[in-house]
Amino acid sequence: MYHMSQEVMAVSEKSKTVIIGCGISGIAAAQRLIKAGFQHVRILEATARAGGRIKTGKIGNKIIEIGASYLHGPSKENPVFCLARDYDLLDPEALTPENQAANVDEYPPWVANWFTSSGQKVDDDCMNPALELIHELVDNTPESKKHKQTWESVGHFLRSEARRRAEKMWKKEDKATKKLLFCALSALLKFECCGSAVHTMDDLDLNGFSTYESIPGVDCMFPSGFEGLISSLMSELPPGLVSYNHPVQSICWNNSEAGAHPVTVECANGEKIPADHVIVTVPLGYLKKHHSTLFSPPLPKQKLRSIEKLGFGTCNKIYVEFEKPWWDADCDIIYLVWEDEEDISDHVSDISKLWTRKIPSFTVIKPPESGSHVLCGWISGHEAEHMETLPEEEVRHSMTELIRTFTGDSTIRPKRIQFSRWFHDPWTFGSYSHPALSCSAQDIKNLMEPLPTKGGQSQLLQVLFAGEATHPCYYSTVHGALLSGWREADRLISHQF
């Protein structure tokens, strides 16, 4: 045993590992390698902060999440939950056995308020049939290859099946209620678009969509902000391990002329860093935009095809603060139902004029401290991208008009607003990944395949890939990102020893 640990130390002392990106997957990989005895580990981060798409902010005296909001599936199966619990970052409620055991498929039992575009508040019992129908269909979305009847996409399945079932189930409803329920289906489809960061559910592949797995537990938030998890993880890394404001310009791999180290990482400031292994944790959006200049030699065709085929979309949040609430005291979520959308549509006809119609809901930010009543509006797709181009004053005006339309109260005036801009962020180009049409589980495998591929020249495991888009069943989540970082670190550890 002693002899083995000496050998381990000798190998890891020689090996130089560079991690690109200080998001949770990069931090997780670094932590794992250092614990295994790796001596030369360095993280290069393009921005001035750690955390990547985990980013906490403030509006008034309320903590808000600019990036990741929810801990999806807070139970022992989720490593992010285990870390958050051990760091004492969660509310007692999230730690209860009941909360951990609840199997809600990422649909927390929220108390809803429903408002219509004629300025009416509708009883939630009246709208629940629409909610139950969409949840059941999303939870039971089939794989197209297992069915004789083929739907073209997740959106095609949801719309056609919702219409078919609704016609049967809501036969006895009066005409006005039936129409409103169909309009509610449009709002709920837009809500689902936010969950997958897509422009429309028609962008989602049926087979790919079915590979996603949810973990038991009622989704919860971090009372003091998600960034608390990043701070706790960072505090365990050796000081000076991260170089901030260090964008990487190119990764030259399979380089026999580089001497002892087969990879050279060149930074934008001209620094050249020799390495044996590089773990790339940049978002898929960044890879899509910059792969041609980032890698030399270029990536293999198979990997390039998969980078192109996998989806990466935008979901933004618009935080709006009010002097006093216009929603019920126990309300968790507000749904907005346009009364002219009974055709079950999840996108708008004229984005520049009607972009606010893509906002299906507001979640209530809790707890309600005095003088700070905050809602979080959700918007995805091209409408979210368009919103990012508008001046803050115009977004504020549009939000004011939207809320006045749905409440019928022309005196409501937001106190402050703040919104995310993930599409125009030069290091992400969007929010998170999704299984786009015609992409498959194989594309995720291709994305996470290290370079050079087996049988290639030189030493294997020169360039490795991590990040949420590389996880086969937890893509788009923080736990997927964390697990991918551990996976690539473990790949290196087992390779070395």
10 Å CB burial of residue 249 (0-12, 13-18, 19+) is: middle
SS3 category, 398: helix
Q: Tell me which of 166-175, 225-234, 309-318 is least confident.
A: 166-175
Q: What angle do CA 416, 417, 422 make, to 5 degrees?
A: 155
Q: Which residues, listed in sequence order, are joined to residue 264 by a DSSP beta bridge?
A: 252, 274
**Tell me, what DSSP letter sits at residue 22?**
-
Q: In the chain, where are the structural domains located? A: 2-54+223-311+437-496, 107-213+315-419
pLDDT grade for 148, boundaries at 50, 70 and 90: low
pLDDT grade for 2, boundaries at 50, 70 and 90: very low
Asked if 252 and 263 count as a contact pair (C-beta separation under 8 A), the reply is yes
Name the region of 457 (left: φ>0; alpha: ψ -120 to 50; beta: rest). beta
Name the region of 467 (left: φ>0; alpha: ψ -120 to 50; beta: rest). left
What is the token pair recorded at 343? 């055709």
What is the token pair recorded at 428? 């992400």
pLDDT in tens, 68-85: 999 999 999 999 999 999
Mean pLDDT of 376-400: 98
Mean pLDDT of 121-131: 96
Give the closest residue to 279 by CA, choosing from 493, 20, 41. 20
Q: Which residues fall within 8 angstroms of residue 218, CB to CB, at 6 or more apart?
A: 74, 94, 99, 102, 104, 108, 109
**What's 2-54+223-311+437-496's CATH class?**
alpha beta
How far apart are the C-alpha atoms of 381 and 311, rounded to whole Å? 12
How far apart are the C-alpha atoms of 431 and 277, rounded to whole Å? 27
How far apart are the C-alpha atoms of 433 and 420, rounded to whole Å? 17
Q: What percent of the chain has pLDDT over 70?
A: 93
**Token pair 């199997």 in the structure block, residue:** 103
Has residue 147 got a pLDDT over 70?
Answer: no
| pLDDT value at residue 457 | 43
Report CA 309 to chain centroid distance, whole Å.
18
Q: Tell me which of 20-34, 206-220, 429-443, 448-462 is least confident.
A: 448-462
Q: Which residues fall within 8 angstroms of residue 342, CB to CB, at 6 or more apart?
A: 179, 182, 183, 186
Q: What percent of the chain has pLDDT over 90?
A: 88
Query: Domain 107-213+315-419 classified CATH 3.90.660.10?
Result: yes
How far apart are the C-alpha atoms of 212 and 474, rounded to whole Å? 6
What mean pLDDT, rounded, does the chain reach?
93
Angle formed by the axes of helices 175-196 and 124-139, nearest 10°: 50
**Tell me, what DSSP letter sits at residue 421?**
-
Give the closest residue to 376 by CA, choosing from 323, 432, 316, 326. 316
Helix (H) or strand (E) holding 318: strand 315-322
How far apart are the C-alpha atoms of 300 and 462, rounded to whole Å? 14
| pLDDT value at residue 149 | 67
Q: Which residues fall within 8 angstroms of residue 309, CB to CB, at 6 or more apart?
A: 436, 438, 439, 443
How far apart are the C-alpha atoms of 345 and 156, rounded to whole Å? 11
| pLDDT value at residue 84 | 98
How far apart are the C-alpha atoms of 442 and 445, rounded to whole Å? 5
Q: What is the model's pTM?
A: 0.94
pLDDT in tens, 281-306: 999 999 999 999 999 999 999 999 99
Has residue 354 got a pLDDT over 80?
Answer: yes
pLDDT in tens, 210-253: 999 999 999 999 999 999 999 999 999 999 999 999 999 999 99
pLDDT grade for 145, boundaries at 50, 70 and 90: low
Alpha helices, DSSP H only, in 247-391? 284-294, 301-309, 351-354, 381-388
Asked if 238 and 229 count as a contact pair (C-beta separation under 8 A), the reply is no
Q: Which residues fall within 8 angstroms of residue 269, CB to CB, at 6 or more apart?
A: 246
| pLDDT value at residue 143 | 83
Secondary structure (DSSP) of 23-52 = BHHHHHHHHHHHHTT--EEEEE-SSSSSBT
Has residue 4 got a pLDDT over 80?
Answer: no
| Residue 268 CA neighbour count, 13 Å, CB half | 11
